[in-house]
Amino acid sequence: MNIPDIIIAIDGYSSTGKSSFAKVIAKEFSFLYLDSGALYRGVTLFAIENGFISDDNTIDVPELTSAMNGLDLHFGPQGTYIGERCIEKEIRGLAVAGKVSPIATVPQVRAFVDSKLREFGKKKRIVMDGRDIGTTVFPQAELKIFMTADPMVRAQRRAAEMPGASIEDVLKNLEERDYIDSHREVSPLTQAEDAVVLDNSDMTMQDQVEWLKALISERFSINQ
Ligand code: DC
């Protein structure tokens, strides 16, 4: 299938399979995949390790903001890095998951991450997933998908990736994150007006890819 040079923005609730879907699409269409949540997770790890966020999630915003000037957070061959250190494993654990939503409410953090993300948008042929890609980061994206799925289905999928974590804890974390992400003042998680909803509760990955191909064919008048 001949895909035009577009930006595909995928937003939606936590653990709806946005990144798995985005990775498959990127491979299928030879697009560059960018995981915006990984950058919020990277800033969160940095804040935890440097004592800018307390156990009760109080954030020292001035200290964090000034320290971010020297934060070399970027993507590399194995995922997300701070300088030369690959942080992919650390940013996927519950310690970071429990603090990332509060960190992502800080406007200075959002500005820091947005500036990195927008650099990539100059290239096109990218698929980026997150919470505000179609609304704030790339409002001009040619294709916007808003993903959702039943909360229990989402918790089961996420728990399967986290050995030792109970479904109850994972579900609680998901619901807390959904609430904070949807209610924060800056760039809350909302469906862009021109986004197409994908509820994948009962869909396989193959179903989702077929669904997207049909959507692209129709939208851009391409013969599959
Ligand atoms: O997609 P994820 O679960 O890795 O995202 C981690 C957190 O980062 C999520 O709880 C909210 C935040 N986030 C955001 O606020 N905006 C984005 N574009 C991506 C993620």
Q: How far is the CA of 203 from the centre of ligand 1 (A)?
A: 23
Instruction: Identify the band that residue 1 occupies on the pLDDT scale cut at 50, 70 and 90.
Output: confident
User: CA 131, CA 181: separation in Å to the nearest integer?
Assistant: 8
Q: How far is the CA of 63 from the centre of ligand 1 (A)?
A: 22
Biggest CA-to-CA distance, the chain: 55
Q: Residue whose CA is closest, atom 9 of ligand 1?
A: 101
Unique residue bearing structure tokens 């990984």: 38
Mutate to test the pocket of ligand 1, among 11, 23, 39, 40 (most ligand atoms within 8 A of CB): 40
Instruction: Tell me: pLDDT of 109 over 80.
Output: yes
The tens digit of pLDDT for each residue in 15-25 reads 899 999 999 99
Average pLDDT over residues 65-75: 97
Q: Residue whose CA is closest, atom 16 of ligand 1?
A: 131
The tens digit of pLDDT for each residue in 153-196 reads 999 988 888 888 899 999 999 999 899 999 999 989 999 999 99
pLDDT of the residue at 164 = 87
Give how far Cα 38 sits from Cα of 41, 197, 220, Å: 5, 23, 30
Ligand 1 pocket: which residues have CB below 6 Å? 14, 36-37, 40-41, 100-101, 104, 130-133, 177, 181
Mutate to test the pocket of ligand 1, among 10, 36, 162 (most ligand atoms within 8 A of CB): 36
Q: How far is the CA of 207 from the centre of ligand 1 (A)?
A: 25
- What percentage of the chain reaches a pLDDT higher than 90? 83
Distance between first and last Cα of the chain: 6
Instruction: Tell me: pLDDT of 224 over 70.
Output: no
Instruction: Tell me: pLDDT of 137 over 80.
Output: yes
Atom from ligand 1 closest to the CA of residue 15: 3
Lowest mean pLDDT among 35-39, 103-107, 151-155, 158-162: 158-162
DSSP class of residue 142 equals S
The tens digit of pLDDT for each residue in 206-220 reads 999 999 999 999 998
- Are the C-beta atoms of residues 173 and 42 closer than 8 Å to each other? no
pLDDT of the residue at 75 = 94
Average pLDDT over residues 23-31: 95
- Write down the pTM of the prediction: 0.91
Q: How far is the CA of 224 from the centre of ligand 1 (A)?
A: 33
Q: How many CB atoms lie within 10 A of CB 49?
A: 12
Lowest mean pLDDT among 111-115, 122-126, 152-156: 122-126
Instruction: Tell me: pLDDT of 201 over 70.
Output: yes
- Are the C-beta atoms of residues 43 and 68 closer than 8 Å to each other? yes
Q: How far is the CA of 132 from the centre of ligand 1 (A)?
A: 9
pLDDT of the residue at 94 = 85
Instruction: Tell me: pLDDT of 223 over 80.
Output: no
Average pLDDT over residues 142-161: 93
Token readout for 35 is 């995981």
pLDDT of the residue at 132 = 95
